[in-house]
Amino acid sequence: MATLGDLERAVMDVLWSTENPLSANDLRDRLHASNRDGARDVAVTTVLTVLSRLEGKNFVSRDRSMRPHLYRSVTTRAEHTAGLMHEVLGTAPDREAALARFIGSVSPAEAQTLRELLGASTPTAR
Partner 1 sequence: MFFTSVVLLCLAVLLAWPVPLLLARAQWPSRAPGTALVLWQAIALAGGLSMIGAFVTYGLIPFGPNLLTALRELVRHLFDGTLPDDANLGHIFALCIAVLFTGHLLLNLALTIARTERQRNRHLSLVNLLSAPMPGRPDTRVLDHPAPVAYCLPGMTRSVTVLSEGLVSLLDAEQLKGVIAHERAHLRQQHHLVLVAFKSWHSALPWFPIANRAETAVGLLVEMLADDQARRVVDDTTLATAIALVASEGADRPDGSTLEHLHAGDTAEGVVGSRIQRLLSPRPPLSNTARVAVLVVSVALLLVPTLLLIVI
**How many chain residues touch partner 1 (CB under 8 A)?**
42
Amino acid at 56: G
Determine the Cα–Cα distance for residues 104 and 117; give it in Å rounded to an integer: 19
67 — phi, psi (to 5°)?
-120, 125
Helix/strand/coil for 29: helix
DSSP, residue by residue, 65-76: TSSS-EEEESS-
Q: Which is nearer to partner 1, 93 or 123 (CB)?
A: 123
Question: By CB under 8 A, is residue 106 in contact with partner 1?
Answer: yes
Nearer to partner 1, 33 or 88 (CB): 88
Q: Considering only residues 15-74, where is the footprint of partner 1 by CB under 8 A? A: 57, 59
Distance CA 63, CA 61 (A): 7
Query: Which one of 1, 43, 66, 118 is in contact with partner 1 (CB under 8 A)?
Result: 118
Does 80 sit near partner 1 (CB under 8 A)? yes
Task: Point out which residues bind partner 1 (CB under 8 A).
Answer: 5, 8-9, 12, 57, 59, 77-78, 80-82, 84-85, 87-89, 95, 98-104, 106-107, 109-115, 117-119, 121-126
